[in-house]
Structure 1
Amino acid sequence: MAKSSKSVKSDRRAVIDQLRKEQKGAERTRGFAIVGVCVLVALLIIGAAAYKPIMDWWDSREVEKLALSDIGSPASVCQDITTKKADGNQNHVPTGTPVEYTIAPPAFGAHWNEAGVAPAPFDRKFYSEEDRPEIESLVHNLEHGYTILWYDETLSDEQVSEIRDMAEKFDDSDDNFRDKFIAAPWTAADEDGASFPEGQHVAFTHWSAGGEGETDVSKQLGAFQYCTAPSGEALQEFMKQYPYFDSPEPGAM
């Protein structure tokens, strides 16, 4: 018996409704999948962005547990300290004027003197090649009692990281003058001056007054120590022997 036209229309509508229902279900599933993928991508992006800060935070926690003397190589990687008669106390040349330093790196000499330029700010303890102040600015820091750790471009990323860790040991927000320390690159290829002695890649320098409270400028000395690799142990001993108050201007920031 043939179905009536009314029955056929009803069946057709049922089929269409079912197709629509299935289509909506598929679209809903597809929408959930798209949202899920977007959420996953967002989480991955957030995770990637957060990874380095988290790892840096974790590494800094590990560094906090270490003494300065435990960072880097043993002191045996460094040569004996040498000294040279110093000059240049209060010898301020106009900012922008190049100064030729005869020793690589310098421990004393003529230097710039301009607020905001020289000396370099107390709160920066580590510089890379991209942001390092000019040598003439850093020599002014030496006059104020800073010890500078200079490192050349041959060091590995791991060794530079060790120097960063050393610098963090002096990152005191209380302006403690005992934290007069800067780590800075020495780039002989970029006309800083001569290269370090053969086989040496790190150097400590300090401008000594010739002893605490000494005011006779004829007794001023430059102190130098060269190392094949970064050594927190050697740095600690160097700064004990040549503290900030043994300098021409220890009371200046």
Structure 2
Amino acid sequence: MAKKTAAQNNRRAVIDDIRKKQKGADRRRGFAIVGVCAVVAILIVGAAAFRPVKDWWDERKFNDVNLAEVGAPASACDKITTKKADGNQQHVPSGTPVDYTTTPPAFGPHWNEAGLAPVPMEKKFYAWGERPELEALVHNLEHGYTIVWYDKTANDDGSEIAALRAIGSKFPGDSNMRYKLKIVPWLPSDEGGKKFPEGKHIAITHWSAGGDGQTDATKQVGVFQYCSSVSGTALKDFMTKYPYTDSPEPLAM
């Protein structure tokens, strides 16, 4: 009987030892899972924060830099061209799509809805997923805005986006009409997938009154300039030649 009890005790000790080791393994596995989850969470948070931090790091070199010193030289851009405009004060119901005849638009029929079209002045740079509709932005053009459009190639280039953001920061607020500027993406879906000219990834447009005040709509033209990369110099020259005052409705916000 004693021998049986000793054997039982030994067996129990072995089982207890196995259980203890199993609990230890389970505890270590639990710690490992928690650790992995913590690392994943940190990576997710870090990834979310990386782009804003990188944007700040890239843009800080543009602090207190003259607009003409941002980006490429003016030679990155083609000569300015114009095209006869139409659509002056031609409003269509908001939500109605308009087929524009140029890529991107510089004039044409447009939406007219308080708070929606024209787009409020304060925000200057729009990231890929936050751009207002074309029909709203064309109303901004009628009010004298200059619009800088960038395509997918420019969007995928961090230095180009940093330069565009930096340019936007040079035009703060919503009270100085000289700062009527929007920087927006030209999406692959826009106008059935129409693209900028070969090798051009930036476009600048303006709705000009044609140098004859705002009294003769037949003199109005759309103004275009295409660039291979961002050029603060070209933009400065463009906005100097075609200020907000040279538009169908310059005093409207």
Structure 2 length as normaliser, TM-score?
Answer: 0.76
In the aligned structure 2, how far is the partner of 1:199 from the partner of 1:235?
A: 18
In the aligned structure 2, how far is the partner of 1:89 from the partner of 1:174?
A: 24
- For the 8 Å contact 1:104–1:193, the answer to whether it is kept is no
Superposed, 1:218-233 pairs within 5 Å as 218-233=218-233
Instruction: Give the match for residue 152 of structure 1.
Output: 151
In the aligned structure 2, how far is the partner of 1:223 from the partner of 1:215?
A: 18
Q: What letter corresponds to residue 106 of structure 2 in structure 1? A: A
Superposed CA deviations along residues 118-148 of structure 1, whole A, max 9, x for unmatched, are 1111001011121100000000000000000
Instruction: Give the match for residue 19 of structure 1.
Output: none
Superposed CA deviations along residues 180-220 of structure 1, whole A, max 9, x for unmatched, are 00000001345465111111110000000112633111100
Instruction: Give the match for residue 242 of structure 2.
Output: 242
Instruction: Give the match for residue 90 of structure 1.
Output: 89
Instruction: Give the match for residue 135 of structure 1.
Output: 134
In the aligned structure 1, how far is the partner of 2:192 from the partner of 2:64?
A: 36
Superposed, 1:105-120 pairs within 5 Å as 105-120=104-119
Deviation for aligned residue 1:161: 1.3
Q: What letter corresponds to residue 195 of structure 1 in structure 2? A: K
In the aligned structure 1, how far is the partner of 2:50 from the partner of 2:188?
A: 35
RMSD, aligned CA: 2.3
- For the 8 Å contact 1:148–1:183, the answer to whether it is kept is yes
SS of corresponding position for 1:116: coil
Structure 2: gaps of 5 or more residues: 1-38
Deviation for aligned residue 1:50: 8.6
Residues 190 and 83 of structure 1: is their aligned pair in 2 closer, same or farther, counting only changes over 3 Å? closer
- For the 8 Å contact 2:58–2:159, the answer to whether it is kept is no
Q: How many residues align?
A: 209
Between the aligned residues of both structures, percent identity stands at 58
SS of corresponding position for 1:154: helix
Superposed, 1:174-189 pairs within 5 Å as 175-189=175-189
Structure 1 length as normaliser, TM-score?
Answer: 0.76
In the aligned structure 1, how far is the partner of 2:194 from the partner of 2:73?
A: 26
Instruction: Give the match for residue 5 of structure 1.
Output: none
- For the 8 Å contact 1:162–1:230, the answer to whether it is kept is yes
In the aligned structure 1, how far is the partner of 2:65 from the partner of 2:132?
A: 29
Superposed, 1:21-40 pairs within 5 Å as none
Q: What letter corresponds to residue 169 of structure 1 in structure 2? A: K
In the aligned structure 2, how far is the partner of 1:151 from the partner of 1:56?
A: 17
Instruction: Give the match for residue 14 of structure 1.
Output: none
Superposed CA deviations along residues 2-21 of structure 1, whole A, max 9, x for unmatched, are xxxxxxxxxxxxxxxxxxxx
In the aligned structure 2, how far is the partner of 1:146 from the partner of 1:56?
A: 25
Deviation for aligned residue 1:63: 1.9
- For the 8 Å contact 1:103–1:194, the answer to whether it is kept is no
- For the 8 Å contact 2:59–2:163, the answer to whether it is kept is no
Structure number, greater radius of gyration: 1
In the aligned structure 1, how far is the partner of 2:136 from the partner of 2:178?
A: 20
Instruction: Give the match for residue 167 of structure 1.
Output: 168
SS of corresponding position for 1:198: coil
Instruction: Give the match for residue 7 of structure 2.
Output: none
In the aligned structure 2, how far is the partner of 1:142 from the partner of 1:161?
A: 24
Q: What letter corresponds to residue 197 of structure 2 in structure 1? A: P
